[in-house]
Amino acid sequence: MYLSGCSATTREWLMLEFQPRISCTLNWKMKGGRTVQRLRPFFFKIPGKRVITVQAKVDVYLWLGHSEDSHAVLENLPAGYEPEFLTSSPGHHNVPDNLIYKSQHMFQLRAHMYQARGLIAADSTGLSDPFAKVSFGSQSQSTMIMNQTLTPTWNQMLLFNNIPLHGEVKDIAWDPPPIVIELYDDDALGKAEYLGSTLAVPVVKLAEEHYTPPLLQYYPIFCGSLLGGELLAAFELLQIPESETEPETLPPIDEPDGQIYPVPANIRPVLRRYRVETLFWGLRELKKVQLLSVDRPQVFIECAGKGVRSSVIQSYKSNPNFSVIVDVFEMDIPENEHLHPPLTISVVDWRAFGHSTLVGTHVVNCLKQFFYKAKELPTTPRKQIPAAREGVKDPEDETIVIEASPPEETYVNIDPPPTPKTPPLTQVYSKDGRRTLRRSTKRRKRTVADDSAENVIDWWSKYYASMDKAKQKEASLYQNVNDNAAKDDLFIVTPLQNLLSHGVDSLVNGSPDIYSSIEGGNKKNKFAKKKGHLEQPNLTTLQIYNKELEAEFNNFDDCVKTFDLCRGKANEEDSLQEDRAVGKFKGRFCVYKCTDEHDGDDDDNDEISPGAGQFRILQGMPPNHAIKVLIRVYIVSAFNLHPADPDGKSDPYIVLQLGKTQIKDRDNYIPKQLNPVFGRSFEIQATFPMESLLSILIYDYDMIGSDDLIGETKIDLENRFYSRHRATCGLSTEYAIDGYNAWRDAIKPTELLSKLCKDHQLDGPHLRPGKICIGDQVFAGKTVFEEDDEKVESYEHLALNVLHRWSEIPDAGCRLVPEHIETRTLYHKDKPGMEQGQLQMWVDMFPMDMPPPGPPVDISPRKPKGYELRIIIWNTEDVILEDENFITGQQSSDIYVKGWLKGLEDDKQETDVHYNSLTGEGNFNWRFVFPFNYLPAEKLLVVNKRENIFSLDKTERKLPAELVLQVWDFERLSSDDFLGVVELDLHGFSRGVKSAKACNLDMLKNKVEKISIFQQKRVRGWWPFAKSGELTGKVEAEFHLLSAEEAQKSPAGKARKEPEPLEKPNRPDTSFSWFVNPFKCFFHLIWRNYKKYIIIAFVLLILALFILLLLYTLPGAVSNRIVNG
């Protein structure tokens, strides 16, 4: 079929050659108005479907260019094709009617279909019955069907004979036609279901060339946009000789097995015998299958046609672990690790009458992760061990010294930790040479921090110090990145420092600066109370992880690995793994070569005799019997929770689920919060493995109706418990007996170190004065401390340092989990993949057969302390004059002062008004009384109030403690005029000056000395009012801070009231309200200024009245006189 089309400026010609079910794509480039082109195929697919199979293919020769370049249509015509002109047209004189090929070559295609892995499950059982369909040219063939597997091994060669290809041979060899491979799932009662397809380019071998076998390689399979597995195959296109006189050049093929040709031996991978040790630990979280619970499950392991089965669990509900935990099998797999076949894990449930039902499967596509690696012995006994370790001081805090020693020992000098704040255990030598333990009974000396009520050090002090340190570390990391980018002239956009959310940041920003860590080696913190300033020593910190602990320690799969079991169909529309998950299998594999296949010149370390002694996989493995564990769950806070109420807030509370145990903390819900601080700890007794999955759910409290689930997170406690990283109880940075950093593990550092050495069969630890010896390594450090002028000996501090460096121990070392807080993401099952918030928490676990641990850590939220701030406004000076007398033209102001604490605007208080201030001076003697709740350690004001009249609960907010004082001009007939303001941070504001003349705006700058009312308690002075950066007045005030108990003992009234009333201010006579005192207003404003004029006017008025009376009565008097006269 030949199509042509043209427009005013462009022409296009397409020659289409139809061939069924072949596909490719088209690419071309325009260069100089002409197209550099060759034959390319097009796919034909059914539109409107997401998963599309190939329906047809066309080979297209396309020319695209300007009309004036139409003479170049045939310049790039592939060799072997000639144009045919049947008609002539003036406008299309260069366009042929047909393209005729004259050269034709015969080829044979050999498709070596070896195996596939990771195919899509198309049956309800979670498996498929796959077969592959190969299409090339006008021919297509299919492989045999492999029943109920996702990893089929066909080992089949498909022959396509006498395939004609047109064009020059060199062009075919350089750009061979593509091959389409489609995979289907066979259904006995319906049409085969499409699993995916891929394209392959064959290796071309011409008749005159020497034959080289092709190499097997993996081709990715796609079902729409979903990756549907990989196909291991090889494709070769062999030219058939054109004349019978030429010798036969096609390579021989193996004898068929029936009608199926196997893949030739020179193409199949070279196999080698491997041994697989399988650890069957147990099954977890199995769901119902066919409406029935799983009761007697069994696991089948299969790889390369070989496999092994576990023992049958007799009662899954009673004990989900296997009774026989290890079994072995041998298999032949390729030497090339990239060609290794997948390993399939299948779980079946045995039911009545010997009937079995498939529960779920899991396919492991990479065996390399399970290869056994022999532990390498250290080549040099003398080495320098780096000092850096996680959760302990930075390298600047430690100095490593390699001392002179015999060649068989390594000496590492560890700087001792700071002198413990709590009395350490004292080791005293008795007469018989044994050491006894005692604790110092002398009372500790009180420090300045102990005498300050607002600086009590507790666990939250440690928490905020750790948060500050994490933020500083993150900031320095980004700063280093930016510095390096600037050096390299690179443009890097610094990402947002998202270590902590806004909710927790609001707490951290309020935390005292004295808690920030100061890095440096052997620097002692000096603290003193000086002019009201208080500094505290460095606090011990813990590790803050901004992710799950599993992500930091490789999912704790060093002991047992968890494999997710899936069941049901998987396609593009239903590709979520959670929807198909039916349970988990816990186990492990150990793969190594067998010695009977050993090649003499191969010195691999992983070759082990099949029957050589104990199973390698059992080295260091604990027993899998049931064990009782005490679990302590600490929930610190949550942030960025998803709103669950119509007002955009939530009322979160905690629910814990572990097995059949459920703890609902509904009574302690936190109203109207998206960033709640829970500070809750829970204690649960559980039995592993029956109760090993801990679910932490955050619900929204609703008074009416059922509570709404905000999000949940799940923790596999069993993996943590058995991990070599020892995630049962984190190692603190420093050792202390009591206090905020008290050691909370059930065993002390020296006992823990002895246990680890015993478990890993290490020689030690040997405790000697000033050092601890483990094997050929000697860790030197301080073991003698001074406590109250008495020397005591303790190895706990040095042992703890060695535990933090446990990863540096040869053969047995690994990183131990430090004392930490992990951040876990909350998810909702109805909103998969969408984060619903984060949760800060940690979990401690203690075996019940060990000594009981100490009391749980008290992380209950700090309760605010009641305070009362009393402010006496004495006087004002130089307040700007806003009013002007319309009679006299004199300026004045009616001054009054208003004050409140930010967040407590409902408790605004005002002084009385100083009327008619002609000089800006105001006298008040007025007392403000502000009671408030305050968190001293966080330096935050706690406000509890209802957001509106319809709110049932009060919302708690934490705000900075800031005082606002404003000066206003009172107006009777209009709104008052704002004159100025001063805002004072109660933690750090400028000290008031003694006189009004020295008061200026420089006092509000950051360079001046700052004081804290919480340390100064009482202060008096002058402070400036400002408006728009200009000085608008000065106020003399006195601040007095009392605790709630002190305020109750010595009360004081507001304003000038009892108790402790204030005297009335001595105001000038001009201070009055004209509206209330009109006669006084007349006297002061009119009489004083116009007294003589008033007297003269009064005299003139009397005189005028006299004259008027005279004039009025004189005519009558004269008339009477005349009449009576």
What are the φ and ψ backbone dihedral angles of 1046, each rounded to 5 degrees? -65, -40
pLDDT digits (tens, 9 = 90+) for 535-553: 445 789 999 999 999 999 9
What are the φ and ψ backbone dihedral angles of 753, each rounded to 5 degrees? -65, -40
pLDDT given for residue 1123 in this prediction: 85
CA distance 914 to 293: 85
pLDDT given for residue 430 in this prediction: 39
DSSP state, 1058? S
Give the mean pLDDT of 139-162: 90
The neighbour count for residue 960, using CB atoms within 10 Å, is 15
Which residues on neighbouring strands pair with residue 2, listed in sequence order? 15
pLDDT given for residue 13 in this prediction: 41
The neighbour count for residue 451, using CB atoms within 10 Å, is 10
Q: Are 542 and 391 in contact (CB under 8 A)?
A: yes
Which residues on neighbouring strands pair with residue 985, listed in sequence order? 962
pLDDT digits (tens, 9 = 90+) for 797-832: 999 999 999 988 887 889 999 999 999 999 999 888
pTM for this predicted structure: 0.74
pLDDT band of residue 425 (cuts 50, 70, 90) is very low
What are the φ and ψ backbone dihedral angles of 922, each rounded to 5 degrees? -135, 140
Which residues on neighbouring strands pair with residue 260, listed in sequence order? 257
Point out the least confidently predicted range of 218-222, 782-786, 841-845.
782-786
Numbers of helices and strands, H then E, in the chain: 13, 57
- Label residues 1105-1123 b or e (16+ Cβ within 10 Å = b): eeeeeeeeeeeeeeeeeee
CA distance 545 to 77: 64
CA distance 700 to 653: 6
Residues with Cβ within 8 Å of residue 971, at least 6 apart in sequence? 894, 977
pLDDT given for residue 392 in this prediction: 40
pLDDT given for residue 813 in this prediction: 82
pLDDT given for residue 1068 in this prediction: 77
CA distance 867 to 317: 57
Cα 187–chain centre separation: 45
pLDDT band of residue 411 (cuts 50, 70, 90) is low
List strands edge to edge, sheet with 54-66. 2-6, 10-20, 54-66, 40-45
pLDDT given for residue 542 in this prediction: 93
CA distance 502 to 639: 8
Q: Are 163 and 179 in contact (CB under 8 A)?
A: no
pLDDT band of residue 162 (cuts 50, 70, 90) is confident
Q: Are 392 and 380 in contact (CB under 8 A)?
A: no
Tell me how far CA of residue 604 lies from CA of 158, 599, 811, in angstroms.
Answer: 38, 10, 19
Tell me how far CA of residue 74 lies from CA of 82, 98, 177, 411, 1088, in angstroms.
Answer: 9, 12, 22, 82, 116
pLDDT given for residue 568 in this prediction: 78
Secondary structure class of 474 (helix, strand, coil)? helix
From the number of C-beta atoms within 10 Å of its C-beta (0-12, 13-18, 19+), residue 127 rates as: buried
User: For the chain, how far is it from start to end, CA to CA, in angstroms?
Assistant: 156
Which candidate, 330, 320, 264, 322, places its Cα nearest to that of 295?
320
Reported in sequence order, the residue ranges of 569-651 that DSSP labels E, i.e. its strands, are 581-594, 607-608, 627-639
Give the mean pLDDT of 699-714: 93
Please say whether the dihedral angle defined by the alpha carbons of residues 178, 184, 188 and 191, taken in this order, is positive or negative: negative
Which candidate, 983, 941, 938, places its Cα nearest to that of 960?
941
Q: Are 183 and 197 in contact (CB under 8 A)?
A: yes
pLDDT band of residue 28 (cuts 50, 70, 90) is very low
CA distance 933 to 1006: 27
Highest mean pLDDT, choosing among 61-70, 75-84, 619-628: 619-628
pLDDT given for residue 51 in this prediction: 52
Q: Are 1087 and 1094 in contact (CB under 8 A)?
A: yes
The verdict on whether omega for the bond into residue 861 sits within 30 degrees of 0, i.e. cis, is: no
Q: Token pair 């509904």 is at which residue?
A: 666
Q: Is the pLDDT of residue 403 over 50?
A: no
Q: Is the pLDDT of residue 944 over 90?
A: no
What are the φ and ψ backbone dihedral angles of 981, each rounded to 5 degrees? -150, 150
Q: Token pair of 938, please?
A: 């966080």
pLDDT band of residue 475 (cuts 50, 70, 90) is confident
DSSP state, 1087? I
Which candidate, 842, 868, 579, 886, places its Cα nearest to that of 720?
842
Residue type, 719: N
DSSP state, 475? H
Please give the share of the chain, as a percent, with pLDDT higher than 90: 42
Q: Is the pLDDT of residue 517 over 50?
A: no
DSSP state, 335? S
| Secondary structure in 3-state letters for 514-529 | HHCCCCCCCCCCCCCC
CA distance 1045 to 646: 41
Q: Is the pLDDT of residue 305 over 90?
A: no
pLDDT given for residue 610 in this prediction: 40
Taking only Cα atoms into account, the Rg of the chain, rounded to an integer number of angstroms, comes to 45
CA distance 551 to 543: 14
CA atoms within 13 A on the CB side of 221: 26
From the number of C-beta atoms within 10 Å of its C-beta (0-12, 13-18, 19+), residue 354 rates as: exposed
What is the residue-averaged pLDDT of the chain? 79
Which candidate, 879, 749, 865, places its Cα nearest to that of 801?
749
Which candidate, 964, 965, 878, places its Cα nearest to that of 922?
878
CA distance 988 to 577: 56
Secondary structure class of 703 (helix, strand, coil)? coil
Give the mean pLDDT of 454-478: 83
Q: Are 801 and 781 in contact (CB under 8 A)?
A: yes
Q: Is the pLDDT of residue 398 over 70?
A: no
pLDDT given for residue 93 in this prediction: 53
CA distance 909 to 1087: 37
Q: Is the pLDDT of residue 334 over 50?
A: yes
pLDDT digits (tens, 9 = 90+) for 335-386: 888 888 889 999 999 998 888 899 999 989 889 899 987 655 444 343 434 3
Residues with Cβ within 8 Å of residue 7, at least 6 apart in sequence? none
CA distance 473 to 388: 15
Q: Token pair 């030497």 is at which residue?
A: 335
pLDDT band of residue 472 (cuts 50, 70, 90) is confident
Q: At what angle do helices 749-759 and 796-804 cross, to 10 degrees?
A: 50
Higher pLDDT, 1039 or 974: 1039
pLDDT digits (tens, 9 = 90+) for 96-122: 777 777 778 889 999 999 999 888 888
CA distance 985 to 1010: 10
pLDDT given for residue 858 in this prediction: 93
pLDDT given for residue 490 in this prediction: 38
Please say whether the dihedral angle defined by the alpha carbons of residues 1117, 1121, 1122 and 1123, taken in this order, is positive or negative: positive
Q: Is the pLDDT of residue 52 over 80?
A: no
Q: How many residues does the chain have?
A: 1125
Q: Is the pLDDT of residue 626 over 50?
A: yes
pLDDT digits (tens, 9 = 90+) for 913-922: 998 888 889 9
Which candidate, 119, 152, 111, places its Cα nearest to that of 235?
111
Report long-range pairs for 392-396 (Cβ below 8 Å, ≥24 apart): 392/733, 392/801, 392/804, 392/818, 393/417, 393/519, 393/733, 394/519, 396/519, 396/520, 396/521
pLDDT given for residue 996 in this prediction: 92
pLDDT band of residue 1098 (cuts 50, 70, 90) is confident
Q: Token pair 């309800």 is at which residue?
A: 124
DSSP H/E element including 476 = helix 459-487
pLDDT digits (tens, 9 = 90+) for 499-516: 333 333 433 344 433 333
Point out the least confidently predicted range of 469-473, 1032-1036, 1070-1074.
1070-1074
pLDDT digits (tens, 9 = 90+) for 665-692: 999 999 989 999 999 999 999 999 999 9
Reported in sequence order, the residue ranges of 471-580 that DSSP labels E, i.e. its strands, are 543-544, 561-566
pLDDT given for residue 29 in this prediction: 40
Higher pLDDT, 991 or 437: 991
| Strands 922-935 and 940-945, sheet pairing | antiparallel
Residues with Cβ within 8 Å of residue 904, at least 6 apart in sequence? 930, 932, 941, 943
